Amino acid sequence: MLKEDLNTEFKSGFNDAVIETLSAFANTKGGKVYVGLDDSGNPVKKFSIGTETLQNWVNEIKNKTQPSIISDVETVIIKEREIVILAINEFPVKPVAFKGRYYKRIKNSNHQLSEIEIADLSLQSLQVSWDSYVAHGKNIANLDLQKVSKFIDTVNATERFKLDGSVLENLQKLRLINENTITNAAWLLFGKESIGYNVHLGRFKTPSLIIDDKMFNGSLFEVVEDTMRYIIGQIKVAFEITGMPTQRTEIFEYPLPALREMVLNAIIHRDYLSPVDLQIKIFDTKITFFNPGNLFGNLTIEDLKKDNYQAYSRNKLIAEAFYLTGDIEKYGSGFIRIRKEIAHYPSMEFTFEEVANGFLATLSYEKQRVHLMEDINEGLNEGLNEGLNEGLKTVFQTIKQNPSIQAKEIADKLNNRPIKTVEKQISELTKKGLIERKGSRKTGGYWTVSDTLI
């Protein structure tokens, strides 16, 4: 059954709304308008096709769009009625205007583009990005060459690219400068003064109660590090005590690699044509990242939920710079790595959505990881008390409290329990999947709690 969606529209008759939809299809992924169907997809009774009708429609579509688009036309029979299908592919030169206005297709409706979205679509069509254009009123004298030298050293250390010329030659090789002119990317990455784009951070108790806030607006590499330092200073950290001798493990409220990915994603992919600040809000059990600018290119929210989505880069030179320094991996893998990191935090969720003039990503949780693990261990202990005899319980608890322990050491700690008895109890715990062997006898192997219980 037909239904209206990203690529399909129903119209009871031919009018300007049909041409508007075709222009929206041309600016998105193409589509078909079924003329002669009502909103439910049923043929309308008063629809008819004259001798010159179809050619007149094609001419009207051509005359009312700029650049002119020419629709494919065919007639089909639906429920014994003749229907016209007007089809258009995604247009190679975008954006296409209808009567001076620009539209794109979102789900099953047309969305009028803002000035910023029109500029973005034009840049995509030309296969260039805003950050590759000359920075207005700036030149090489506005760059901090020490920052550039540090960047070059980092790139060479990662070995993703070889920069062996002078500072200026290397910047030209990366297309960041051209003679004495510099690109927007060069200014954002290495500018001497404030680059004029803010990252606004805050610690909130409620949406309206701010405990602390901070603003950063330096060059991008510096802002990433400043932002991470602020976030780490605001989030909670717990300590897990294990083993004999005592081992203390730091467990941060959020996985730090995931937070860094979210900071990098927001700074690299924000829309620098927008005057709105990048905003990071830290609450008691969640942290939100608002990034100016909606998703770029043909990327959708549904695409981002998959691990094989096609990446689109709004700021190609900036993304390339952060790739060369090793701050990001291959394009389009950031959300995949975030999902992998939070997998170690059982109650944590990663959500994201397009909102007015931007993109909002959130990390939230119901219970902090260290406390959740305490609950799991408590439940495990209760299960052991119910399902194991006293001898097995004492062996299991000894292994749990002493990671990397060997069988002889277990026997010694249990008041010199006979080693054969301990080995038999270890065998029973192994069969139950509660403990496992690490290494062989020859290499000094030991017993530890099964990975599935950690």
* pLDDT tens digits, one per residue of 145-191: 999 999 999 999 999 899 999 999 999 999 999 888 999 999 999 99
What b-and-e string marks burial along 30-61, b requiring 16 or more CB atoms within 10 Å of the CB?
Answer: bbbbbbbbeeeeebeeebeeeeeebeebbeeb
pLDDT at 118 over 70: yes
Q: Cite the residue boundaries of each domain of the chain with CATH code 3.30.950.30.
A: 8-113
The CATH H-level (homologous superfamily) assignment of domain 8-113 is: Schlafen, AAA domain (3.30.950.30)
Q: Cite the residue boundaries of each domain of the chain with CATH code 1.10.10.10.
A: 370-453
Mean pLDDT of 123-152: 90
pLDDT at 443 over 90: no
370-453 fold: Arc Repressor Mutant, subunit A (1.10.10)
Lowest mean pLDDT among 123-132, 229-238, 282-291, 445-454: 445-454
In the CATH scheme, what architecture does the domain 115-234+254-366 have?
2-Layer Sandwich (3.30)
Of 423, 368, 358, 416, give the one whose Cα is nearest residue 392. 423
pLDDT confidence of residue 140: 94
* pLDDT tens digits, one per residue of 345-378: 888 999 999 998 899 999 999 888 755 555 445 4
Mean pLDDT of 189-197: 91
The mean predicted confidence, pLDDT, of the chain is 88
More confident of the two residues 148 and 421: 148
Q: Cite the residue boundaries of each domain of the chain with CATH code 3.30.565.60.
A: 115-234+254-366
